[in-house]
Structure formats: C-alpha cells, structure tokens
Amino acid sequence: MNPNEVAVIGAGPAGLVAAETLAAAGLAVTVFDRMPSPGRKLLIAGRGGLNLTHSEPLERFIGRYGAASGRLEAALRAFPPAALMDWAEGLGQPLFTGTSGRVFPQALKASPLLRAWLARLAEQGVGFRFRHRWEGWAEDGALRLASPEGEMALRPAAVLLALGGASWPRLGSDGRWVRFFPADEVAPLRPANCGFLFGWSEVFRSRFEGQPLKRIALEFGGERVRGEALVTAGGIEGGAVYALGAPLREAIAAGGEAVVRIDLRPDEAAEALAARLDGPRGGVSVSNRLRRVGLSPIGIGLVQEALHGGTREPLSRLVKGVPLRLTGTAPIERAISTAGGVGWEAVDERFMLQGRPGTFLAGEMLDWEAPTGGYLLQACFSTGVAAARGILGYLGR
C-alpha cells in the first residue's frame, strides 16, 4: 500500500460509504475486512426488507439517539435521511415509505443495492483486501493486519476503522477490536434491539412459541410503546420490545429484573373492561370471559400465565397490563445491534481518535444506540461520510 493511500478497515456500510466519499475526492483507497466478502450484516438486514432510514422530521429523528444525539447531530445534518435516500436511488434502487414512515428499497432486500454499490466502488478504483484482520497497532503506530499470507504492518496516510459492534459475530463484527483500545475509552458492548428472557410455563411455550402478539402496547418506566412482539422459547422480542430495550436492559443490569406490562387491549378503556370482566362470574370460566372481550388465544394464554403465577390482580387490570418479570437480555449474538463502543471523549468532532492523528472511527463501533426504524443504518452512513470528510480535512483536501 503506498503511503498516500487511505486504508478503510471494515467493509460494512460505514466503511464502504467512507471509501466511496474518499475515492470520489480523488484519493486512493483500500478496504480491508476479516471476512471473505463485504457487507454481510447489510445483506442480513435485507432479510427484514432493509429499513434504510426514516422519513420523520429531522429534529425528531436526531432525538432517537438519546444521550449520543448531541455528538451525532452534525453528522446527521450533513448527511441526513434525504441524502441517504438520494444516494440509494442514485444506485438504481427506488424506495418507498411505509405507513410507519420507515423507508425501504422497493426490492425489499440489500443484495441489488450492494451489487450496484460495489460496481461503483470498483469504477472509482477502490481496492479490496479480504481475509485481513486488523490486530491493533505496532509500537511505532503502524496498523497490524493478519491474513492467510501472514502478518503485515501498514502505514497509510490515514485510516478509518469501521469495525461494527458485536451482534451476529459470524457475519464479521465480533467486537474483538475492544482489546486494542484503553479500557477507559470503550463503553462495554451490550446487546441492543434484543430479546429479553422470561421463563414461560411449558404449556404456554409449547403452544405459543414463535407467535406474534399483535396490536399491543408495552409499558415500562413510565414509557408506553405500541406495536408488536414475538414470543420466543426463552422470552420475548420484536419491535415494541426493542423500543423499550435500553431502559429495560439498564434496569435488569441494576436490579436483576424488570417488570414490563403488556396492554392486550390498548384501545379499550380500563373502566369498560372492568365492568365486563370483574363482576360476578356467573359460572363462566376465565378463558370464556376473556374470549368474550375479544382476547386472542395468545392473549388469554398470557393472562393465564399471570394467574398461575399467583397474581391477585383483577382480570381487567391484567388485560390492560399483564406483567412479565424479565430476568435478562437474550445473548448479543442474536441482537440486532450493539450498545456501547468507543466513547465520545476518545474522538474529536471530526471522528478522529484523540492521541492517534490520522485514525478515524465510524459506524456501530462508536458509543451510540437507537431503536429499529432505519436509525441504525442512517447513523452508520452519516458517521461514515463525516469521518471521510474528516480524513479529507486532515489530509488538506
């Protein structure tokens, strides 16, 4: 690699968009990745339709990143959802906006987009070196890479590290880069947009595992989210769960458990339900009474779980908020994204690593998290572009 070249390590969306930005400015760029091919997580994201970004107003969009909003704001404004949408359409991928405001390619998958993108990068002269694992820095500051041909030391003009988080490690991002950073610069990698653990009875699990809970509202810590959830063998996952994921995860970390409540009839007033459910039984079984107020079999099953658990709450209260005592997060290997990462004190506003001039960071390896809805990919693209512009500034371009 010649010393005027820029190295990008990590061929996910953050690394690839940085490579594209740098090459478009006339720089020679080589992308390294430990896997045999690029964009594996992007391809898996395509299985769910590839929710690229979200069409809500930018102010609200920026707020989705919670504590990290302030540090991401400039990057999101400089490369906002509208820019990402133009970019995707420019690659021949027409988009559509769903009723929820989420934006998807019409193809509902990532492979045509990735194919067109790689063709553009090839035209721009971007080089690729696969099966090259970054292994930290040598004493003289050179980048250490290990490949099947052996070890090498790279001294590029600048480098972008875009190594991703630690979810779905078999797709490439295994979070092993953490050990190359000082411990106080990295917030521990934790599952985000992940499932939570709950011990179902065998009767409930065998009947309802894999089934969705539709049109529910989830409540925790004063927050209420409408949506769907899915019963898994070991607990619960899905959009509404992910939306409350960060506070649930932190509550479990602090106290060992978190009680989330599921409103099975979110459009129905509690008083109306109480009148129908909490009066004299008149010989009608609990299941039948629940069925008469319109509960689905899985909803009835959930209330029965709570009753078997010994709750004394009236039926109407259970329908409006059946409690689930969650005891842990599902493993990070199955999470959609990762919380934690390189902390904001360790990078400057150009995304350059303090104390390592010429080393820039982007994507999920930085310490931010967001719910599903296109916010993850958008932040990876926006920080990738921002870090590439940081590199251009650093190199005086």
Ligand X SMILES: Cc1cc2nc3c(=O)[nH]c(=O)nc-3n(C[C@H](O)[C@H](O)[C@H](O)COP(=O)(O)OP(=O)(O)OC[C@H]3O[C@@H](n4cnc5c(N)ncnc54)[C@H](O)[C@@H]3O)c2cc1C
Options 5, 20, 364, 367; binder of ligand X; rule CB under 6 A: 364
- Who contacts 129 (Cβ-Cβ below 8 Å, separation ≥6)? 30, 31, 32, 33, 147
| Cα–Cα distance, 137 to 180 (Å, whole number) | 8
Options 143, 290, 300, 336; binder of ligand X; rule CB under 6 A: 336
Cβ proximity to ligand X: between 113 and 376 the closer is 376
Q: How far is the CB of 309 from ligand X (least distance, A)?
A: 32
Site string for ligand X, 111-150 (x = CB under 6 A): ----------------------xx----------------
Q: How far is the CB of 157 from ligand X (least distance, A)?
A: 19
Structure tokens at 396: 């005086």
| Total of chain residues touching ligand X, rule CB under 6 A | 37
The reply to whether 51 sits near ligand X by the rule CB under 6 A is: yes
| Cα–Cα distance, 38 to 279 (Å, whole number) | 62
The reply to whether 105 sits near ligand X by the rule CB under 6 A is: no
The reply to whether 229 sits near ligand X by the rule CB under 6 A is: no
Cβ proximity to ligand X: between 329 and 337 the closer is 337
List helix spans (H) across the chain: 13-24, 40-45, 58-63, 69-78, 81-90, 111-123, 202-208, 239-243, 245-255, 270-277, 286-292, 297-308, 315-319, 375-394
- Residues 153-182 binding ligand X (CB under 6 A) are 162-164, 167-168, 172-173, 177
Cβ proximity to ligand X: between 236 and 273 the closer is 236
- Residues 365-384 binding ligand X (CB under 6 A) are 374, 376-377, 380
What are the two backbone dihedrals, phi and then psi, of residue 271, each rounded to the nearest 5 degrees? -65, -40
Q: How far is the CB of 381 from ligand X (least distance, A)?
A: 9
The reply to whether 245 sits near ligand X by the rule CB under 6 A is: no
Cβ proximity to ligand X: between 304 and 383 the closer is 383
Options 8, 12, 304, 339; binder of ligand X; rule CB under 6 A: 12
- Who contacts 12 (Cβ-Cβ below 8 Å, separation ≥6)? 38, 39, 41, 42, 162, 164, 172, 173, 363, 364, 380
Apex 376 CA angle, 373 and 381, nearest 5: 125
> What are the CA-CA distances from residue 374 to residues 51, 101, 104 (Å)?
5, 10, 9
Cβ proximity to ligand X: between 225 and 370 the closer is 370
What SS3 string covers 107-124?
Answer: CCCCHHHHHHHHHHHHHC
What does the binding site for ligand X look like in residue numbers (CB under 6 A)?
Answer: 9-15, 32-35, 40-42, 44-45, 48, 50-51, 133-134, 162-164, 167-168, 172-173, 177, 336-337, 363-364, 374, 376-377, 380
